[in-house]
Structure 1
Amino acid sequence: MMFLLEFSNAIQDFIETGGNVLLVIGVLIFVMWLMILERIFYYLRGHRQATKAALTSWNNRSDKSSWQAEQIRGAMISRVSLALGGNLPILQAMVALCPLLGLMGTVTGMIEVFDVMAVAGTGNARSMAAGVSKATIPTMAGMVGALSGVFATTWLQRTAKRERLKLEDRLLLDHSGEQQLAKS
């Protein structure tokens, strides 16, 4: 219990050192990672079910070679692909927003430094240090959030593309295999 209290005090001190912008960045990073984890769980669970449903639906069709069947196949692939993409554009926007909020924290921290310099003069380094930390900590937090988000969204995009191509291949193989059987 004492550990949780100390941990909560350390987090509170860190947020106070970084200013209000750091709290906004923290909330943004938390929401971003919740959405990333949701996508990962979808890829592990929900996507398999959607792929099975599409494959079952395609295999149950008697006509797989007409123009209409090709359009239905394309629609199935598009539906699964849209579900794979899910909230990736929103995640990309959040990743882009992290460094911008960090920059906003830098500006607000520097404004505080300039206010201290106007009131106390340039000789009071201790009072300027608080503003400098308010300028650098949000920048660091925004960059850390953006970097982690870039790696995660890149992996999610690659996985979505790979899974779409796998589904296309499986549906095409079923179709071409059936054509080869009909020819022989």
Structure 2
Amino acid sequence: MLEAAIEGVLTPLRSIQEFMAAGGFVLWWIFVAAVLLWTLILERYWFFRRVLPQRRQAVKQQWMARVERRSWTARRVREALISQVDASMNVTLPVIQVLISLCPLFGLLGTVTGMIEVFDVMALKGTSDARAMAAGVSRATIPTMAGMVIGLSGLLSINRFRKRVKVETERLGDELAYTG
């Protein structure tokens, strides 16, 4: 019973290991970038879901605690409060954007290294060893596919975050009224 459970866990791990071996060393870089990217994306989802409402409420209470809210100074304080919340919403977005851009570039690097492997096989054995050439082509296409998939999945998230930052900044600006 225990052996069947262990085998059930090890089978997917073996498949992942075979996939990583077929993609070459560049696929490991893509994997590390993907883990970091999705950790940051999940952190941003957590921030918008759990942290931002509390932060927005604290800023509103700080604004409402002011005696006057119409002077030039009050307007600068309002802008500073909105700017602080905006900065906290944008804090990891540049890193996410860099990782999104990096994944397809890693995929391209995998393509180049895989094609070099194909050319090496052709130089050593000619075009008669189709199996060795297929391994190089596989090593060329798997990182490309992985880099594109990770990059596209991150691209959807970053666009959603940017839109959310814009909406939340405008909402906070509307909630911090000048009356007082």
Interval containing the TM-score (normalised by the shorter chain): over 0.9
1:128 Cα deviation from its structure 2 partner:
0.4
8 A contact 1:98–1:145 mirrored in 2: yes
8 A contact 1:116–1:128 mirrored in 2: yes
1:63 Cα deviation from its structure 2 partner:
1.1
**Other-structure match for 1:29:** 34
**Other-structure match for 1:104:** 109
| 2:109 counterpart of 1:88 | no
Aligned structure 1 segments of 4 or more residues deviating by more than 6 angstroms: none
1:30 Cα deviation from its structure 2 partner:
1.1
Alignment of 1:72-151 (within 5 A): 72-151=77-156
| TM-score, structure 2 normalization | 0.95
Choose from 11, 15, 19 the match for 2:16: 11
* Cα deviation 1:100-145 (Å, max 9, x = unaligned): 0000000000000001001110111111000000000000000000
1:49 Cα deviation from its structure 2 partner:
1.1
8 A contact 1:39–1:86 mirrored in 2: no
Choose from 48, 58, 74 the match for 1:43: 48
**Other-structure match for 2:3:** none
1:67 Cα deviation from its structure 2 partner:
0.3
Q: Return the letter of the residue paired with 2:114.
A: G
Q: Return the letter of the residue paired with 2:73.
A: Q
1:75 Cα deviation from its structure 2 partner:
0.2
**Other-structure match for 2:174:** 169
1:96 Cα deviation from its structure 2 partner:
0.4
8 A contact 1:21–1:138 mirrored in 2: yes
Aligned equivalents of 2:86, 2:140: Cα separation in 1: 42
Aligned length: 175
- Alignment RMSD (CA, Å): 0.8
Q: Which SS does the other structure have where 2:76 is aligned?
A: helix
1:71 Cα deviation from its structure 2 partner:
0.3
8 A contact 1:77–1:167 mirrored in 2: yes
Aligned equivalents of 1:68, 1:154: Cα separation in 2: 34
Q: Can you give the 5+ residue segments of structure 2 that lack an aligned partner in the other structure?
A: 1-5
Aligned equivalents of 1:33, 1:83: Cα separation in 2: 19
Q: Return the letter of the residue paired with 1:51.
A: R
1:160 Cα deviation from its structure 2 partner:
1.1
- Percent identity, aligned pairs only, is 45
